Amino acid sequence: MGRLFGTDGVRGVANADLTAELALGLSVAAAHVLAEAGTFEGHRPTAVVGRDPRASGEFLEAAVVAGLASAGVDVLRVGVLPTPAVAHLTGSLGADLGVMLSASHNAMPDNGIKFFARGGHKLADELEDRIESVYRQHRTGEPWDRPTGAGVGRVRDYGRGAEDYVAHLLSVLPNRLDGLKVVLDEAHGAASHVSPEAFRRAGAEVVTIGADPDGLNINDGCGSTHLDLLKAAVVEHGADLGIAHDGDADRCLAVDHTGTEVDGDQILAVLALAMREAGTLRGDTVVATVMSNLGFTLAMEREGLRLVQTAVGDRYVLEEMKERGYALGGEQSGHVIVLDHATTGDGTLTGLLLAARVAATGRRLADLAGVMERLPQVLINVKDVDKSRVKTSAELGVAIADAERALGATGRVLLRPSGTEPLVRVMVEAADIEQARTVAGQLADAVKAALG
């Protein structure tokens, strides 16, 4: 069995990879590890537990709640809410632990478990490793030390979670959205209620699609990974913009009034300028990953803003932001983190802030997003190669240098070994799409020849 925890918690096919037994065992292990770390010292511990609408979340929630309560942790069950809402409530309610059951943008059969530490922050890697180690240790038969009598955890539903979260979102909005017409695609996911409620209460006229979760239709042809429905709806309704979330609403992508996609890089660019104007962009710095479009890099340079780039993954963006005290970061995929108001990517917050910028300036989203020109980007996955030699192959190094010379200052090459598969991702950006395709094809052939 490989490592259970990935870059975003434990994830797999529900009831196959991610079973009730695993969910219960990990929850008990988490309670014991946090107790050993002193998190619960001097008080009776409390956990916030939420989920997205997947059918499997019902039995997995029951398993997590049972595990925590059996380990002496009181549980506040908040029901179906976005991941960032569970993180926020973990902090605002003073809980010692938060648990979210979701597989984010994955298809319905998958599910996942994500733990949050006190304050709503992602658990440190060393704590995840310790939880996994303790789980495996007891899985082989060593009995748990279990409380009895009044020592067992108590379970109650916390019915104000949605209201608390919406109130938080509205409290940090810089201005109202009166006069805007917005289409929201909720991916039949966790934000299907709270996101439209927040936009309406902020003053927007709201049209919703993908907001009827039945446990089986999450991310099914809708949401941030399938934008065609949103593009059509924005044009059909004559809306000012559209916002798309994924299943657990930690992502946000947008569509302008013409039905054109506005990706995470463009959203970051718009918010960066808004935050600089408001004096909240600390260090005039934005954090993004190496996969950000070169057009974003050039736009930030032109606007006099500093760009710090990290490895791919919102966890690395967040780590850099927390370590250096930066206020804004994110990914092209729509994970946007505004650290003054959220401890994780928050798609509803991002959408509200983007709409607020449109309302405040009176400018079209297409105009605001035009601060950066998205350069053509070609990505090729080269399979069945020795990805460990990407950085050491002299032959490949020559091919990369030749490609970079051909592209000049208005192009970029990135070769990245996959973290989970035997393949290398070749990404090429250029001002001209045909040049990007040609160079990418040549580099892919070079990868096969050098590493095959």
For residue 419, what pLDDT is reported? 66
Report DSSP letters for 157-196, one per residue: E-TTHHHHHHHHHHHH-SS--TT-EEEEE-TTSTTTTHHH
pLDDT band with cut points at 50, 70 and 90 for residue 109: very high
The domain spans of the chain are 5-159, 163-369, 377-451
Q: Which two tokens stand for residue 46?
A: 């409390």
Would 5-159 and 163-369 be classified into the same CATH topology? yes
Inform me whether the pLDDT recorded for 409 exceeds 90. no
Tell me how many helices (H) and strands (E) the chain has: 14, 19
Residues forming a β-bridge with 14: 18
Active-site residue, 56 included: no
As a CATH number, domain 163-369 is 3.40.120.10
What mean pLDDT is predicted for residues 68-86? Answer: 98
List Cβ neighbours of 196 (8 Å cut-off, separation of 6 or more).
Answer: 184, 186, 206, 208, 211
157 is in an annotated binding site: no
What mean pLDDT is predicted for residues 103-111? Answer: 95
Q: How far is CA 199 from CA 257, 279, 356, in A?
A: 17, 25, 10
What mean pLDDT is predicted for residues 11-38? Answer: 96
Torsion angles phi and psi, residue 271, rounded to 5: -70, -35
Report DSSP letters for 39-89, one per residue: TTTTS--EEEEEE-S-THHHHHHHHHHHHHHHTT-EEEEEEE--HHHHHHH
Place of tokens 């609408």: 53
Residues forming a β-bridge with 255: 242, 261
> Alpha-carbon distance 196 to 352, whole Å?
10
Inform me whether the pLDDT recorded for 384 exceeds 90. no
In whole numbers, what is the pLDDT of the chain averaged over residues?
94
Q: Tell me the CATH architecture of domain 5-159.
A: 3-Layer(aba) Sandwich (3.40)
333 is in an annotated binding site: no
For residue 2, what pLDDT is reported? 66
CATH superfamily ID and name for 377-451: Alpha-D-phosphohexomutase, C-terminal domain (3.30.310.50)
For residue 217, what pLDDT is reported? 98
Element (H, E) at 297: helix 294-302
From 27, 56, 102, 104, the catalytic residue: 104
Mean pLDDT lowest among 128-132, 137-141, 209-213: 137-141
For residue 218, what pLDDT is reported? 98
> SS3 of 138, please?
helix
Inform me whether the pLDDT recorded for 420 exceeds 70. no
Q: How far is CA 348 from the centre of its chain?
A: 12
Mean pLDDT lowest among 30-34, 183-187, 421-425, 430-434: 421-425
- Give the pLDDT confidence of 216-269 residue by residue, as tens digits: 999 999 999 999 999 999 999 999 999 999 999 999 999 999 999 999 999 999
Dihedral, CA of residue 417, residue 264, residue 230 and residue 366, to nearest 10: -140
Place of tokens 């032959």: 395
For residue 410, what pLDDT is reported? 80
